[in-house]
A and B are shown apart, each in its own frame.
Chain A
Amino acid sequence: MANTEQLEELMGLLDGEVQLVDGSGHTVALATEVTEAFQTAVAQMLAGQTHDLTTEEAARLIGVSRPTLIRLLDIGTIPYRRTNGERGHRRISRRAVLDHLRVDLARRRHALDELAADAEAFGFFDE
């Protein structure tokens, strides 16, 4: 069975344009719908992994600094629970982290589309 690290790596790979390569080197580009089906399957497998994440693990999985992750928790962008005890630690479900990651990547890619359009219009790459 795939471990968490393998699944997370696979999730990262599925974020880009995906191609399948057979033993003879023949490549087939995957349609967006097929890639999304793979993403859903991997996300479900990751969600099935039992333990919730520490803030350190969640920050690493999303790819942000820990202060940024804490801020996302504090303002309610990502739900979390606290462990038992007077000063319980924060724990975040893998599903919540992956849901946030998907939305965040879409926003960032839209921003990059706008940056590229402006860079092109202003001739930033021709200078």
Chain B
Amino acid sequence: MTTSNRFIGSLLLLDADVLYPIRVCDFILTASSLRLLARPVVSEQIIAEAQRNVLADRPNLAEEQIERRFRSVRVATDGHDQPTGERVDNESIVNAKDRHVLRSAIHHGVDFVVTNDARLRREIATWIDQQSEAGSLRAAISADELAIGLVNESPDEVLAVVHAMNDRFLSPTHSFNETLASLTRSMPSLQALRNLPH
């Protein structure tokens, strides 16, 4: 890892819409376990929202199954066992229901908030513009923008992340290409990996 890279090694705060869909979440957590990214930050509030989203979207799953998944997510992330940060200056720029995201991001000194909510990304961009010192927070980005950044900086390491994910599947029916195809549904920029030798 080098400090000159913009995305590699960065500290991310993951919003609820990045914890679910599962494929995006597992990609980021795997990248973190391979030290391509720092251990991502979430809050208990964000986990609760993601958990509700899975329950609503997958009514066939038992609550216990979903709880088990988020227990593992807690092991692989940070911040959920700490209080959400306190009020920050000019936070009214951000919609009231999403201010906890900004507070957690500032409290933990993250580099990026990863959210697929375009409105929240715009609001955080406006908030950063208005700060004389926004701390380490550089931007709010979508999951695909994160993928673009990582692929541009180190395509081989991103390829290794997809391989690591694929290697974890027990079923031989999951091929590398199928795993990649699944990931590209949420992060189209990962298509670029198809052109690399693997």
Give residues in A with beta carbon < 8 Å to B. Answer: 8-9, 12, 15-17, 62-68, 71, 105, 107-120, 122, 124-127
Instruction: Check B32–A115 contact: CB distance below 8 A.
Output: no
Nearest-Cβ distance from residue A87 to partner chain B, whole angstroms: 21
Candidate in B21, B37, B78 with the most chain A CB atoms within 10 angstroms = B78
Instruction: Check B168–A113 contact: CB distance below 8 A.
Output: yes
Give residues in B with beta carbon < 8 Å to A. Answer: 1-2, 9, 11, 21-23, 26, 29-30, 32-35, 37-39, 41, 58, 61, 65, 68-69, 72-73, 75-76, 78-79, 81-82, 107-110, 160, 164-165, 168-171, 174, 178-179, 182
Which residue of the partner chain B has the closest CB to A126?
A: B182
Number of A-B contacts (CB under 8 A): 112
> Inside 8 A of A63's CB, which chain B residues have their CB?
9, 11, 32, 35, 37-39
Instruction: Check B76–A16 contact: CB distance below 8 A.
Output: no
Q: Out of B9, B39, B69, B79, which one reaches A118, CB within 8 Å? A: B69
Which residue of the partner chain B has the closest CB to A105?
A: B33
Instruction: Check A117–B170 contact: CB distance below 8 A.
Output: yes
Instruction: Check A114–B182 contact: CB distance below 8 A.
Output: no
Instruction: Check A112–B30 contact: CB distance below 8 A.
Output: yes
Q: Out of A8, A17, A68, A116, which one reaches B78, CB within 8 Å? A: A68
> Inside 8 A of B58's CB, which chain A residues have their CB?
122
Instruction: Check B23–A124 contact: CB distance below 8 A.
Output: yes
A71 and B164 in contact, given A116-B169, A122-B61 (Cβ under 8 angstroms): no
Q: How far is the CA of A118 from the CA of B72 in the complex (A)?
A: 10
> Inside 8 A of A12's CB, which chain B residues have their CB?
1, 35
> Inside 8 A of A105's CB, which chain B residues have their CB?
33
Q: How far is the CA of A12 from the CA of B35 in the complex (A)?
A: 6
